[in-house]
Amino acid sequence: EAGVAQSPRYKIIEKRQSVAFWCNPISGHATLYWYQQILGQGPKLLIQFQNNGVVDDSQLPKDRFSAERLKGVDSTLKIQPAKLEDSAVYLCASSFSGGAGTEAFFGQGTRLTVV
């Protein structure tokens, strides 16, 4: 079974530029998550999708971050414009149903450096 795929693996941009990350979840997984992991901290949820609907985006900085999952499969996360404090690893994860007792499977992440 193929895992969660993310691209790119690494990205370096200047502040105020825009950037986009792509995620392909495990086939059949209805729930998709984007997490931000700053160095030395645990992953922090940015947004959770159930199929193509948003379940939770309460911690997404909506003035600069946006995410979509149009067909309920792939997802993109965009930052525009980027700030220095956005430097982090962006992790995509998916789970089968998002219901009780299910674990999330993570991709390798995209390491973003904003200079």
CA distance 88 to 34: 12
Which residues have a Cβ under 8 Å from the Cβ of 30 and sit 6 or more positions away? 50, 51, 72, 95, 96, 97, 98
Q: Is 99 in the site for other proteins (CB under 8 A)?
A: yes
Determine, following the binding rule CB under 8 A, whether residue 98 of this chain makes contact with other proteins. Answer: yes
86 φ, ψ (degrees, to nearest 5) = -80, -5
**Residue 8 in tokens:** 């790119």
Residue of the chain from 82, 93, 112, 114 that contacts other proteins (CB under 8 A):
93
Rounded to the nearest whole angstrom, what is the least distance from the CB of residue 16 to other proteins in the complex? Answer: 28
Quick check: 36 binds other proteins (CB under 8 A)? no
Task: Based on the shown chain and the rule CB under 8 A, indicate whether residue 77 belongs to the binding site for other proteins.
Answer: no
Residues near other proteins (CB under 8 A) are 4, 31, 33, 35, 40-45, 48, 50, 55-56, 91, 93, 95, 98-109
